[in-house]
A and B are shown apart, each in its own frame.
Chain A
Amino acid sequence: MIKTVDLYKSFGELQVLKGINEHIAPQEVVSIIGPSGGGKSTFLRCLNMLETPDSGQIFFEGVDITSEKVDIDLHRQKMGMVFQHFNVFPHLSVLENVTLAPTVVKKIAKNEAAEQAMELLNRVGLAEKANESATSLSGGQKQRLAIVRALAMEPDVMLFDEPTSALDPEMVGEVLEVIKDLVKGGMTSVIVTHEMGFAKEVSDRVVFMDGGIIAEEGTPDEVFNNPQNPRTKDFLSKVLY
């Protein structure tokens, strides 16, 4: 579904991605773990071209989206993204947060979009909040709203960048539940996370990124229980104990 070929990216003198080759299959759930500054977010943001790679290709459903001839907006509709800091739209109500993109981008009628949005909000327990301002929500509620907002575009893949890192501990669970449900439903997902237990539980594959390269990858069992790379071992020993 997504394939990257030899992805390189620098910010000024700082080389952040040093040749990433990755293939995410349909319905696959891939977790990306690794130390801070290792390039996880940058890689994820390249996948929907929020960052433009310096070289290399990204194929999404067979199309090279790094090409300048491609209408990236069209492809982004099929890739939902969830951010660490939620980025809900504060000037809109909860419902409008969800209906904005479907009505503006897909030109779906307002009432139809609202109906679909209510269904989604219901699924994450936010239906009663529909007409409240998005700013009135708690962190966990904001993140659930952000997930639903992305789902309203009916994406083929979901990209999560540390969706629970900015949450108070008591709200982490409610958001992880929503992601788990989504993943169980077969949603192709790439999840950057520091929640090792969660990564172990939901992932088909775990990718360990360090220093701009994929240092190790494998099934959760392989990576967590039997890491080969000393850097993986070192990282896991720090975060697990």
Chain B
Amino acid sequence: MIENIIMLIKQYWHVFLLEGLRYTLILSAIAVFFGVLFGAFIAFGRMSDIRPFKKINKNKKKKGFIHWLANFNPVSWLCSVYTEVIRGTPLLLQLYLFVFGLPKVIPIEADYFFWVSLALACNSAAYVSELFRSGIQAVDKGQSEAARSLGMNKSQTMLKVIMPQAIKNILPAIGNEFIAIVKETSMASTFFVGELMTSYLKVNGVEYLALEILIIVGAIYLALTFTLSKIVLAYERRLNSK
């Protein structure tokens, strides 16, 4: 078996590293980058204070339909529905939906790689939005009260007081999300987009050495996630020592 592994590495290293590892990293980076971007929007949407029917509760009722409607925030509602749907359905189903379903309604010419990236980003956004939300909510309420009592408005408070503190909770969590995504990109191999798991399929199609190839691919995943988690840990340590 050892000989087989050495042979495979010698003969296919470029498939594993230059193609597999590279695409895994590219996919993960795209997913997390746009995931953070969309996720931030969703988080702020959920925490927004948009109540179009605020005015109807003239006599400030505290119960019933009028009270409910007056406090109804459609943006927040949509964002939380989105998060629930993404988190409540399998990633594989979402990948199928984006690759086979969406092109039927969104008429753009794009390859599998594009749709897979988009699916991963939209999936990641739901999780990242929760990271943003909990990171922000973990900041002591007294902080925003102090800022508001000084006359700072909501966005000034968010930008200058809450976010600088929340980011210290959020960044390590996004690092961990990146690690999770690295592993999840393996599902993209269903569509043969070239990442590490696809390189297993390719090489195995020629060599029929499933165990050996899986050991190699697994070792690459492990090296990657291990390195990344060490980086996240070092960063967390640095934050806590300050």
Contact = CB atoms under 8 A, between A and B. Distances in A.
A52 B60 CA distance: 11
Minimum-distance CB pairs A-B, first 4: A77-B151, A87-B146, A101-B150, A87-B142
Interface stretch (B21-29, B111-119, B156-164): B156-164
Nearest to B164: A91
Interface in A105-158: 105, 146, 149-150, 153
Interface of B: 60, 62, 140, 142-143, 145-153, 156, 160-161, 164-165
Contacts of B160: 100, 104
A83 B153 CA distance: 19
Nearest to A52: B60
B159 to A, nearest CB: 9
A76 interface: yes
A74 B151 contact: yes
Contact of B150 (A85, A91, A150): A150
A50 B149 contact: yes
A46 to B, nearest CB: 13
Contacts of A81: 145-146, 149
A12 to B, nearest CB: 8
Contacts of B151: 73-74, 76-78, 101, 105, 153
Contact of B146 (A55, A89, A91): A89
Given A54-B60, A104-B156, A76 B146 contact: no
Given A54-B60, A89-B161, A91-B164, A105 B146 contact: no
A73 B143 CA distance: 16
A153 B150 contact: yes
Interface residues of A, number: 28
14 contacts: A54-B60, A73-B151, A73-B152, A81-B145, A83-B145, A83-B146, A91-B164, A100-B150, A100-B160, A101-B147, A101-B150, A105-B150, A105-B151, A149-B150
Contacts of B143: 87, 89
Nearest to B142: A87
Interface in A63-110: 73-74, 76-81, 83, 85, 87-91, 100-101, 104-105
A80 to B, nearest CB: 7
Contacts of A50: 145, 148-149
A54 B140 CA distance: 25
Nearest to A152: B150
Nearest to A146: B146
Contacts of B146: 81, 83, 87-89, 146, 149
B142 A85 contact: yes
B172 to A, nearest CB: 16
Q: Which residue, of B149, B153, B164, B165, has the highest number of chain A Cβ atoms within 10 A?
A: B149
A83 B143 CA distance: 10
Contacts of B161: 89, 91, 100
Contacts of A27: none
A76 B149 contact: yes
B238 to A, nearest CB: 15
